[in-house]
A = this chain, B = another copy of it.
Amino acid sequence: MAGSTYGTIFKIMTWGESHGTGIGVVVDGCPAGLELGEADIQAWLDRRKPGQSKFTTARQEGDRVEILSGVFAGKTTGTPIALEVRNTDQRSHDYGNIMDVYRPGHADFTFDRKYGFRDYRGGGRSSGRETIGRVAAGAIAAKVLESLGIRIQAYTRSIGPVSISPERFDPEEMWKNRLYMPDAEAARAAEAYLEELMARRDSSGGVVECRVTGIPAGVGEPVFEKLDANLAKAILSIGAVKGFEIGDGFAAAGSTGSVNNDAFGLERGAVCKRTNHSGGTLGGISDGSDLVFRAAFKPTPSIASAQQTVNRSGEEVEIEIHGRHDPIIVPRAVVVVEAMTALTVCDLLLVSMSSRMEWIQEFFRR
Contact = CB atoms under 8 A, between A and B. Distances in A.
By size class, the interface of chain A is: 35 or more
Contacts of A353: 353-354, 360, 363
A7 interface: yes
Interface on chain A toward B: helix, strand, loop, or mixed SS?
mixed
A37 interface: no
Given A301-B261, A361-B147, A237 B229 contact: yes
Contact of A261 (B13, B14, B125, B303): B303
B24 A82 contact: yes
Contacts of A271: 102, 109, 310, 314
Nearest to A309: B264
Given A116-B356, A226-B236, A250-B250, A13 B5 contact: yes
A314 B223 CA distance: 27
A303 B257 CA distance: 7
Contacts of A257: 105, 202-204, 299-303
Given A111-B285, A203-B257, A104 B29 contact: no
B82 A255 contact: no
A110 B15 contact: no
A287 B55 CA distance: 29
A228 B110 CA distance: 14
Nearest to A315: B266
Given A69-B15, A223-B125, A248-B242, A314 B269 contact: yes
A272 to B, nearest CB: 9
